[in-house]
Structure 1
Amino acid sequence: MATRHIAQLIDDLDGTVLEQGEGKQLNFSVEGRSYEIDLSDTNADKFHAALAPFVNAARSIGSASRQSTARAPRAKSDLDLNSVREWARANGHTVSDRGRIAGPVVEAYKAANA
């Protein structure tokens, strides 16, 4: 038996079911809180018209889509880096006492100890 899931876009303001390709998903922010709303083209135009006097009088502070791009911390390695360094030196590789170990050295260590 097959199951078919059908997604319908519905105008959040008046409940109108929108056809494929109709309507807009709008994102906006008020007092530091972000919102998203699905609207028909007509209601989207009304939304923009209602905000126009405020937008025209406001100062732009940049794109709302720009968010902090903090990097996720790297995953903790299962390798004992001291063992990798000892193996690398014993097998002719040059490695420092601290810091990152070059990828090819780590791969060679893994291959030799697989």
Structure 2
Amino acid sequence: MAEVFVCQLIDDLDGKPIDAGLGHEVTFSYQGVDYRIDLRPANADKIEAVFAPYVKVAEKVSSAGKARANTSTAIKMSGSGRSAEQLKAIRDWAAKNGFDVSPRGRIKADIIDAFDSAH
């Protein structure tokens, strides 16, 4: 008998399913404690917006000498963290649905939220 196992990633903040390939594993440290959370694109944009003013004025601390189990889990504070294919899909969808979106650069959070809600 054949079996098919489906793995569904769930947003840790709101409990909603994350579409395949659109999940964001965000890690951050606060008061010396490391945290990790899986988020949908809309929630990843929200946490990025909240952290941005603090990151802008914070002093970077070298991670040299600090052992990391997985260096790919560092928080992505520049850009949306989405692949070029995902950004193209959002732009294509936005253009077809009456949103004003440029072919390059940052996509507005309200457009990403609308895309996430539609999918």
Could you tell me the TM-score, scaled by structure 2's length?
0.50
Q: Which has the higher contact order (CA 8 A, sep 6+)?
A: 2
How many residue pairs get matched? Answer: 68
Aligned equivalents of 1:41, 1:26: Cα separation in 2: 11
Query: What pairs up with 1:78-93 in 2 under 5 angstroms?
Result: none
More strand per residue: 1
**Structure 1 residue runs of 4+, over 2 Å off?**
1-6
Aligned equivalents of 2:44, 2:63: Cα separation in 1: 20
Shift of 1:6: 2.3
**Consecutive unaligned residues in structure 2, runs of 5 or more:** 70-119
- Structure-2 residue corresponding to 1:46: 46
Deviations 1:49-79 (A, max 9, x none): 1011111111001248x5179xxxxxxxxxx
Identity of aligned residues (%): 44
Q: Residue 25 of structure 1: SS of its match in structure 2?
A: strand
**Consecutive unaligned residues in structure 1, runs of 5 or more:** 70-114
Bigger radius of gyration among the two: 1
Deviations 1:12-64 (A, max 9, x none): 11111012101201111101100100001111011011011111111001248
- Structure-2 residue corresponding to 1:76: none
Shift of 1:8: 1.0
Q: Residue 54 of structure 2: SS of its match in structure 1?
A: helix
Give the aligned residue type for 2:26.
Answer: L
